[in-house]
Amino acid sequence: MASFDSTEHPHRRFNPLSGEWVLVSPHRSKRPWQGQEEETEQDNRPAYDPACYLCPGNTRVGGEVNPAYESTFVFNNDFGALQADVPTGGINEGGLLRAEAESGICRVICFSPQHDLTLPQMTVPAIRKVVDLWAAEYQALGARPDINYVQIFENKGPMMGCSNPHPHGQIWAQRTVPGEPAKEGGQQLAYFQEHGRTLLTDYLALELEKKERVVLENEYFVVLVPFWAVWPFETLLVSRRPVQDLTQLTDDERDALADALRRLTIRYDNLFNISFPYSSGLHQRPTDGQAHPEWHLHMHFYPPLLRSATVRKFMVGYELLGDPQRDITPEFSAGRLREVSETHYKEAE
């Protein structure tokens, strides 16, 4: 019998951050595609849209008027999924029907006053202002006694459910630690207690030694396709220094984070020469007043596109009922991302 080959044979890969497994089926990447194809987003927006509720000077649905902001702008979400003044209480019937009140704050961050930009089209100094605002919001919201976790994220593109194309992200700050960072926190704590180092410190050392899945790096950050990636071109952005949250980054590290974000998102856009959709988010330590030395700052990018600008990955069938599954290997995805230019395709025209 032939020996096992991870580029040809089905296998499972373990995600040490979540404690879960993903099924990898590289042989399936050769199958023809006859499924649904998506319409690509039309990327011809004006620099200012009078109908956009995020553009400077425009009136939002709730009646508030945006200031004539010139860089970043943050405000409480007019339709936030969380509310600060929720009364305490809950339901518990036999331990089977359980619910509990959840309070929190939802904020919207506009990355730029220009309606027609996205992160890869912004300069590093402009993205640095976004990083600074992320850090300030994390610190201010996390200082509240009723907030124990601050989740910063971006949904880019209508394929990811983004309701407004203006460059923006969101912050959901809440009383409890959500499921994904809670799983990661538990895994990181167990590893730190056993080894005295953060899980991502040792994982990053392995990846930098192998270089198989590293996409790009600078002095302070590394972007790679994780060994356990589920989404086709999923990436993980990791700080070289094991800091727990954004507020601990030096000025140089904040600049480097902005640089890494720009370079990665340019590569995404250049992959299929479109404004590339994704959901991304920072994972950092809870804001419950504890030190959490086990936490290591990182950022996830989850893009859905698989083979082209119109073919995407869906979570259905086995993935909903069993485990996540992927066809193309993380090594293949990393190679594709390394191959593309860091000059945005619109600038190269």
Q: Which residues are catalytic?
A: 168
Q: Are strands 20-24 and 325-326 parallel, antiparallel or unpaired?
A: parallel
Helix and strand counts by DSSP (H, E) for the chain: 7, 14
Give me the helix-helix angle, 251-272 and 124-142, nearest 10°: 120
Report angle CA 267, 281, 17 to the nearest 5 degrees.
Answer: 100
Coil vs helix vs strand at 23: strand
Coil vs helix vs strand at 221: strand
Look-up: residue for tokens 């620099």?
47
Q: Which candidate, 198, 111, 105, 124, places its Cα nearest to that of 155?
A: 111
Which one-letter amino acid corresponds to residue 120? P
Separation CA 184–CA 23 (nearest Å): 20
Q: Are strands 168-174 and 149-156 parallel, antiparallel or unpaired?
A: antiparallel
CB 197 within 8 A of CB 141: no
Coil vs helix vs strand at 198: coil
User: What are the b/e assignments for 91-108, b being 16+ CB within 10 Å?
Assistant: eeeeeeeeeeeebbbbbb
CB 284 within 8 A of CB 246: yes
Separation CA 106–CA 84 (nearest Å): 9
